[in-house]
Amino acid sequence: MENMVNIFLFGKKYSVPDNLTIMNAMEYAGYQLVRGCGCRNGFCGACATIYRIKGDRELKACLACQTKVEDNMYIATLPFFPLVKQVYDIEKIQTNEAVMMQLYPEIYACIGCNACTKACTQELNVMQYIAYAQRGDFEKCAEESFDCVMCGVCSSRCPAGISHPQVAMLARRINGKYLAPGCGHLDTRVKEIKDGTFKELIEALMQKPLDEMKELYNNREIEK
């Protein structure tokens, strides 16, 4: 019923149905995965994988859970990559490019080869977001890097030794905490709750008999 293709897992040949993802194909071949498998839905970055189609020069990167097998695919998973993660206190951090110079100075050694962007499993413009980080434009860095799943493939290809996902993580946290506009209605509501504004209302609800709660729920007004 299925069309079979030949794939090479770490060099060893297996025949698998052609409609499987790389991850499913590994399991089909008999691997019980512990490493290199997380959400299985393209969000966690656990299953970074590098492959080459026989006869092709180009080395490609993908997430194993999001990519179909192809005939003559040579596959090596990259379940862990030693990214550099600097520690810092988010409460006491500088919010301009000085923080990058201090924590991730290697980003200024970027040679512009764009290998990171070419390797990105999420098709992000990685080199561009590093450029934004270099000049302290963290809002743009955050926006450009937002869909990053931190799989680390970019860093595995970087001749300058940059840990791109960690640089972007820092930029996003700075942006989220310090640079994005504050939220007045949120602060107001938190204060109201602390002041006990809703205490009686909630307590009254908790005392209500079931019939009244049903009545209240089934006839509540729903915002358009």
Among residues 4, 39, 76, 98, which is the contact residue for another protein, using CB under 8 A? 39
Among residues 3, 55, 105, 186, which is the contact residue for another protein, using CB under 8 A? 186
Strands (E), the chain: 4-9, 12-17, 48-53, 60-63, 73-77
Q: Return the number of other C-beta atoms located less than 10 Å from residue 119's C-beta.
A: 23
Among residues 5, 9, 23, 133, which is the contact residue for another protein, using CB under 8 A? 23
Q: Measured between alpha carbons, how far apart are the two ends of the chain, in Å? A: 50
**19 vs 3: CA distance, rounded Å:** 8
Q: Give me the residue label for tokens 């409609």.
A: 19
Minimum Å gap between C-beta 8 and another protein is: 18
Helix axis angle for 138-145 and 126-134, nearest 10°, is 160
Question: Which one, 113 or 207, has the nearer CB to another protein?
Answer: 207
**210 vs 224: CA distance, rounded Å:** 27
Minimum Å gap between C-beta 175 and another protein is: 6
Question: Which one, 1 or 111, has the nearer CB to another protein?
Answer: 1
Q: What angle do CA 80, 86, 91 make, to 5 degrees?
A: 130
- Identify residues 80-109 at the interface with another protein (CB under 8 A): 85, 87-90
- Identify residues 114-173 at the interface with another protein (CB under 8 A): 122-123, 142, 146-147, 149-150, 169, 172-173
Among residues 41, 55, 57, 105, which is the contact residue for another protein, using CB under 8 A? 41
Question: Which one, 135 or 177, has the nearer CB to another protein?
Answer: 177
Minimum Å gap between C-beta 92 and another protein is: 11
Q: Which among 124, 14, 128, 138 is positioned nearest to 73, based on CA atoms?
A: 14
Among residues 8, 18, 33, 134, which is the contact residue for another protein, using CB under 8 A? 33
The tokens for 55 are 């006869």
**184 vs 134: CA distance, rounded Å:** 31
**96 vs 137: CA distance, rounded Å:** 8
Minimum Å gap between C-beta 173 and another protein is: 3
- Identify residues 52-81 at the interface with another protein (CB under 8 A): 66-68
Q: Which among 146, 88, 159 is positioned nearest to 118, based on CA atoms?
A: 159
Among residues 6, 17, 60, 101, which is the contact residue for another protein, using CB under 8 A? 17
Minimum Å gap between C-beta 11 and another protein is: 20
Minimum Å gap between C-beta 162 and another protein is: 17
